[in-house]
Every structure is written in structure tokens, then in C-alpha cells.
Amino acid sequence: MAAVTPLLATKGVSRSFGGLQAVQDVDFTLQAGETRALIGPNGAGKTTFVSLVCGRIAASAGRVFFDGQDISRLPAHKRVRAGIAYTFQITSIFSNLTVFDNVALAVQRHLLGARDGRLSRDTLREQSQEALALVGLSAQAASRAGHLAYGHQRLLEVAMGLALKPRLLILDEPTQGLSDGEIENFIALVRKIGQTATVLLIEHNMDVVMALAERITVMNEGRILAEGAPEAIRADEAVQRAYLGA
């Protein structure tokens, strides 16, 4: 039987900043439909690695493949068009626009890229409302985004990512600033997203990680320390020393 081509793969990806080796020779694969968690201590290289995947940062060495295609030289906006969406560790919403308009901009970006410039106003509205409903922000659609509570701003950013109709959604510390009740709703949301998209989740909340991840990749000092099912990662002595036992 032929091997299944992973949705995402990196081969020897590295990135240095001056004398600091932030990511070192990382080989990584993610299968379509999977929900994967990427964990590790602060400074492990997690956000730098996903920035290399998304094209926000150029790799010093190595290659990135998406659905079997080498995207190493593609700029970030073309990787978005290919189906990769990334929500930032720090919110990147347009504070002075309404919640609806933030999502509508993402929908417009997707539709214009997919339809050669033809854009239906009804489709724009429907898809924006759909993304807001999915994250539970329909009632705040007319509010100015900058007036939302921080946790709701994070959810708005997820809605903007979903509006791009991604094949791969990368979430960087999405539960930061959320209340316990909001975290429970977020877990349910990611499970729903996982029915139609592949999810790569950077998260420090281990309860969230264990609830969502089918597999976990652990980074430390810019390298992959361990990979495996949640139970195996929890029992891994090297992971405990580097991260879980801290």
C-alpha cells in the first residue's frame, strides 16, 4: 500500500537569529484530519516553527511541504491561499472596525482569491455570519472589536481564521485570557473545527491539550524532544524533566 502524503511536512527546517538557533533541523509531519498539539517550555521554538510553516519568517535552512507541494519559497499570503491559516499568540484584530467587518475582511480575502475577483455581497454576509456563529460572537457583530474583552478578541481572531476556509488551522495559545467556562466552549469549538479541518494547536494548558490532541509534539531548545499519543507523552521521563515536571 502506498504511503499517505501528509498534509504538512517539514524537512530539516532551521532558523537562527544572530547567534541564537531558535529552530534546529526539525522534521515534522501532520496528517490531514488530525488535531495535533505542539507543546514545550517558553523559548522552545514553537511559535518560530509555526511562523516558518506559515511563511511569516523565512527559514535559514530546510523545506516546507503542504499537501505534497514544496511551498518553501511561497510568501505568507500565498500559503494562506493554499489553505494555511494562523491565529497569532498576540491578537491581530482591527480594533477600530466592528466584529463583523473584521471577519468580512477575511471572507473577502478568501473569496477574491478563490473566485478571480467575483464577490457576492450575500455570500460575504452569509459566510461572515457563519464564522461568527461558530465561535459564539453573533451577538457582538456590531460591536467595535477593540471594545471586546480580551478572551472574546481571541475568539474573533479564530473566527477570522475560519473565514479563510483553511485546510490547516494553526492556533497559537488560543485559550490565553479565556475564563474556565470559555475554555470549555473553546474545546467544543475545536472539536467541531476538527471535523472539517486539520488543527495544529500551540497550548500551555495541559487540560486543553489532553482533551483535544490525538498526538502531541514536544519541542525543547529548538528541537523535537518527543512525539506520541497523550498518554505516552505524559509518561515520558525526558518530557517530564524538560516541561511537565517544571
Average the pLDDT over 103-127 and give the result. 80
Given 111, 138, 165, the domain boundary residue is 165
Residue 244 has pLDDT above 90, yes or no: no
Residues 6 or more apart in contact with residue 26 via CB below 8 angstroms: 10, 12, 13, 14, 45, 49, 62, 219, 222, 223, 224
**pLDDT single digits (tens) 99-114:** 999 999 999 888 776 6
Can you give the residue range of the structural domain that contains 103? 92-165
pLDDT at 125: 93
**pLDDT single digits (tens) 164-210:** 999 999 999 888 888 888 899 899 999 999 999 999 999 999 999 99
Cβ atoms 163, 107 nearer than 8 A? yes
Q: Are residues 27 and 68 in the same domain?
A: yes
Q: Are residues 8 and 55 in the same domain?
A: yes
Residue 217 has pLDDT above 80, yes or no: yes
Residue 119 has pLDDT above 80, yes or no: no
Helical segments of the chain, H only: 46-54, 76-82, 99-114, 121-135, 150-163, 180-193, 206-212, 230-235, 237-239
Residue 118 has pLDDT above 80, yes or no: no
Paired strand residues for 61: 14
Q: Are residues 6 and 61 in the same domain?
A: yes
Q: Are residues 96 and 205 in the same domain?
A: no
Which CATH number covers residue 65?
A: 3.40.50.300
Q: Are residues 151 and 174 in the same domain?
A: no
Q: How many residues in total does the chain contain? A: 246
Pick from 13-17, 21-25, 115-119, 183-187: least confident: 115-119
**pLDDT single digits (tens) 48-74:** 999 999 999 999 999 999 999 999 999
Q: Are residues 160 and 178 in the same domain?
A: no
Pick from 5-14, 194-203, 235-244: least confident: 235-244
Q: Are residues 132 and 195 in the same domain?
A: no
Please tell me whether the overall predicted TM-score, pTM, comes out greater than 0.85 for this model. Answer: yes
How many Å is the maximal CA-CA distance in the chain? 55
Q: Are residues 159 and 171 in the same domain?
A: no
Q: Are residues 13 and 73 in the same domain?
A: yes
pLDDT at 2: 58
pLDDT at 18: 86
Given 146, 165, 184, the domain boundary residue is 165
For the chain, the average pLDDT equals 91
Given 133, 165, 197, the domain boundary residue is 165
Cβ atoms 243, 39 nearer than 8 A? yes
Q: Are residues 26 and 122 in the same domain?
A: no
Q: Are residues 204 and 135 in the same domain?
A: no
Q: Are residues 32 and 103 in the same domain?
A: no
Residue 149 has pLDDT above 70, yes or no: yes
